[in-house]
Amino acid sequence: MDRRPIGVFDSGVGGLTVLHECLVTLPHEDFLYLGDGARLPYGPRPLAEVRRFAHEIAGYLQEQGVKLIVAACNSATSAALPELQERLVVPIVGVLTPEAHAAVQATRNRRVGLLATEATVASGRYEQLVRTLDAGVRLFSVACPRLVPLIESGDPFGAATTEAVRDCAAPLRAAEVDTVILGCTHYPLIRPILQRVFGREVTLVFSAEETAREVAETLARKGIENAGDREGEYRFLTTGDPELFRATGARFLQLPLGGVERVEVRTLARALA
């Protein structure tokens, strides 16, 4: 039995969609979630900068005594996962590999679309993963810089969001993809809009369940599970406004948030030093 919490991080509140599945899959585990609201969004930033942010946050979570880290951010996973796996003492799980695997399994015509942030598309990590799994699958990638701010706004289901989704979807519809990877943890919140625009014949892939399953398997393989006869707890940290995190985060987590603590960006930077 290992009572240490599992650390989860994202650029903001989008990773709460992944945390939700982890809480359902591992109800006996404790979790510590950190959302980097002060530096949101990561997508338009250079990969080197996103990589530095990921190293700071992962280093900080390791200092807080977590036993495993989930990089619940596609941009951070794309930019930094291999280096973090080499550097950290604790294991770290990302969200890209489960999504790529699910998409390759789901496609029927071997034409897969990717909707993601600019940083994720620029990294080319999805292309590498998909090609490794099936070299015959073609991946068509579209960066969607407008979506994250719209989803975190007060009206995520408004006309502006629908228009932005149509613009992002148009190249993928023209490419006749039958499967689309939702390559950002924010996107599942507007899944009804995405499904309506693409139609029921297109499979939308988001790997929160597969990521949670990978976390469970990693804990079991390393023998660091918590006792199964208890109900776990979860805490939230943000570099941004705690009240804004609480108000926005409730839509993503779909569970009570409770208190949110503030952590300074300079505190994270010290973890990298």
Instruction: Return the pLDDT at 228.
Output: 87
To which residue do tokens 């469970």 refer?
A: 216
Last residue of a domain, one of 174, 206, 238: 206
Residue 197 and residue 157 share a domain: yes
Q: Reply yes or no on whether the pLDDT at 273 is more than 70.
A: no
Predicted confidence at residue 270, as pLDDT, reads: 87
| The amino acid at 182 | L
- How many Cβ atoms sit within 10 Å of the Cβ of residue 108? 9
Residues 104 and 202 in one domain: yes
How do residues 231-240 score in pLDDT, each as one tens digit? 999 999 999 9
Task: With respect to residue 1, please indicate whether it lies within any of the assigned structural domains.
Answer: no
Q: Indicate if 149 and 244 belong to the same structural domain.
A: no
Query: For residue 154, what pLDDT band results from cuts at 50, 70 and 90?
Result: confident
Nearest CA to 156 among 189, 123, 127, 129? 189
Number of domains in the chain: 2
**Model pLDDT, residue 26:** 97
**Catalytic choice (22, 144, 168, 184):** 184
- Which among 206, 224, 247 is the end of a domain? 206
Residue 51 is predicted with a pLDDT of: 96
| Residues spanned by the domain of 181 | 97-206
Residues 178-203, mean pLDDT to the nearest whole number: 96
Instruction: Give yes or no: residues 214 and 260 share one domain.
Output: yes
Q: Cβ distance 162 to 193 under 8 Å?
A: yes
Rounded average pLDDT over 216-236: 95
- To the query of whether residue 22 is one of the catalytic residues in this protein, the response is no
Q: In terms of domains, do 23 and 50 share one?
A: yes
36 and 49 share one domain? yes
Annotated catalytic residue within 22, 73, 144, 168: 73
pLDDT for 255 equals 87
One domain, residues 117 and 191: yes
Residue pair 85/102 in contact (Cβ under 8 Å)? The answer is no
**pLDDT tens sequence across 106-152:** 999 999 999 999 999 999 999 999 999 999 999 999 999 999 999 98
Average pLDDT over residues 68-86: 96
**How confident is the prediction for the chain on average, in pLDDT?**
95
The answer on pLDDT for 250 being more than 60 is: yes
CB atoms within 10 A of CB 119: 27
User: Taking the model in full, what pTM does it have?
Assistant: 0.92
Do 179 and 234 belong to one domain?
A: no
Same domain, 84 and 112: no
Residues 89 and 217 grouped into a single domain: yes
CA distances from 221 to 29, 99, 208, 234 (A): 16, 21, 20, 23
Which of 176, 206, 236 corresponds to the end of one domain?
Answer: 206
Confirm whether 184 is domain-assigned: yes
Q: Look up 168 and say whether it is catalytic.
A: no
Q: Is residue 90 located within the same domain as residue 213?
A: yes
Q: Would you say residue 28 lies in a domain?
A: yes
Q: What single string gives the DSSP state of each residue in 21-75? A: HHHHH-TTS-EEEEE-GGG---TTS-HHHHHHHHHHHHHHHHHTT-SEEEE--HH
Which CATH number characterizes residue 124's domain? 3.40.50.1860
* In a shared domain, residues 202 and 228: no
